[in-house]
Structure 1
């Protein structure tokens, strides 16, 4: 995943999380916010509860690879992925499937929200 497509700044992390738009599962919480640019960006957070720095970095590398396969980066939203402790107990494929389903839920929620806005304006 290119560095341009990553969110690194703490203020941006906090701004996205404070929107309170999220999808959650046992291993991930995906916070998202709509934006005007046509390229999506992703931030990954692995809390210290997950383990030491080696474990957290490994988890972030794995999640980056999952995102690279799942997301086309052509959506118009930014997202923050917070990894939870049960991630360590699952296989890579199980985690991949769970993250993929979370991303599909985000896209469906956004689609419903935009359809609702267009229906209200009529």
Structure 2
């Protein structure tokens, strides 16, 4: 995923947090902020130390990033969102990460209208 699709700065993370528009399941929490003026979505990923050591945290972030990349054509483009991994997300297999993220993205309404019409 290109860097233009990522939220990196602390101030940008805080802006999304301040919207208090969150959705969660047992593995992930997603905060969403609408930004109609931007050309594509941006995502921030946060994996805390409760997940494990640095290797496990990076492993989890890679899996989240890959899942988002696979969902990219289906996601709304006018949002910034944060994905926060809960401790239960540690060591999940890829298919489980993707399934859990899909669930929380549906709750958050992050899929474009085409996705919801198919179901």
CA–CA distance in 2 between the matches of 1:67 and 1:89? 17
Contact 2:56 2:91 in 1 (8 A): no
Give, in angstroms, the shift of residue 74 of structure 1.
Answer: 4.9
Distance (Å, rounded) in 1 between the aligned partners of 2:21 and 2:5: 20
TM-score by length of 2: 0.84
Say which structure is richer in helix: 1
TM-score of the superposition, structure 1-length normalised? Answer: 0.82
Runs of 4+ in structure 1 off by over 4 angstroms are none
CA offset digits 1:6-63 (Å, max 9, x no partner): 0100111111011100110000000010002131000000001111111111111111
Corresponding residue pairs, total: 111
Larger radius of gyration: 1
RMSD after superposition = 2.1
In the alignment, structure 1 residue 17 sits paired with structure 2 residue 17: yes
Q: What stretches of structure 2 of length at least 5 have no aligned partner?
A: 114-119
Unaligned runs of 5+ in 1: 112-122
